Amino acid sequence: MSGALVRWALRGAAAGAAGTTALNAVTYLDMAVRGRPASSTPSETVERIAYGAHVKIPGSGEQRANRVEGLAPLAGLATGVGLGVVLGVVRAAGWRPGPLAGALVATAVALVGANGPMAVLGVSDPRTWSAADWAADLVPHLAYGGVTAAVLSGLDDGR
């Protein structure tokens, strides 16, 4: 792996981590303002992935449930950072979008990366979501896309 590719992968990881922090902050703010509960879909996704991969999550009862509740946000962090790495590697290949295009592409990648597995696993069907459901999902992903693209652009040294 070339030095430039590694640099951009690391920059992408940092951008993805910043974007994930923004996504989480907007999500938690929405929960606090509207008084809505946390979504159960991340935990359900972890459960279905573990089942499909024939991986047993250790423990029983509350202990096992707590592990699943811990694994769900870790999976979200891994997704956000991983998508940032992909965006960084694409940047290493020479694609330098403008601020709006970069933010929209990062948002789209995050929406597919987060909702795709849930749809494929049958945890959620975005085709059945209400406008409020879409807003609650889209706004945090826009925050992810905007912050991730801004960090990647800010870290661009022209190489």
Walk along the chain (159 residues) in steps of 10 and give the mean pLDDT of each run.
91 98 97 94 96 96 96 96 97 93 96 94 94 92 98 86
User: Residue 159: what pLDDT?
Assistant: 62
Say what the pLDDT of residue 157 is.
Answer: 79
CB atoms within 10 A of CB 11: 23
- Residue 100, pLDDT score: 95
Residue 19 lies in a domain: yes
Question: What is the span of the domain harbouring residue 149?
Answer: 3-38+76-154
Q: Distance from first CA to last CA of the chain, Å, rounded?
A: 15
Six token digits for residue 147:
């912050």
Residue 55 falls within a domain, yes or no?
no
Residue 66: inside a domain, yes or no? no
Q: pTM higher than 0.85, yes or no?
A: yes
Residue 141 lies inside a defined structural domain of this protein: yes
pLDDT of residue 1: 67
Query: For the chain, how many structural domains are there in total?
Result: 1
Residue whose token pair is 């826009």: 142
Hey, what amino acid is at 30?
D
Alpha helices in 39-60 (DSSP H): 41-52
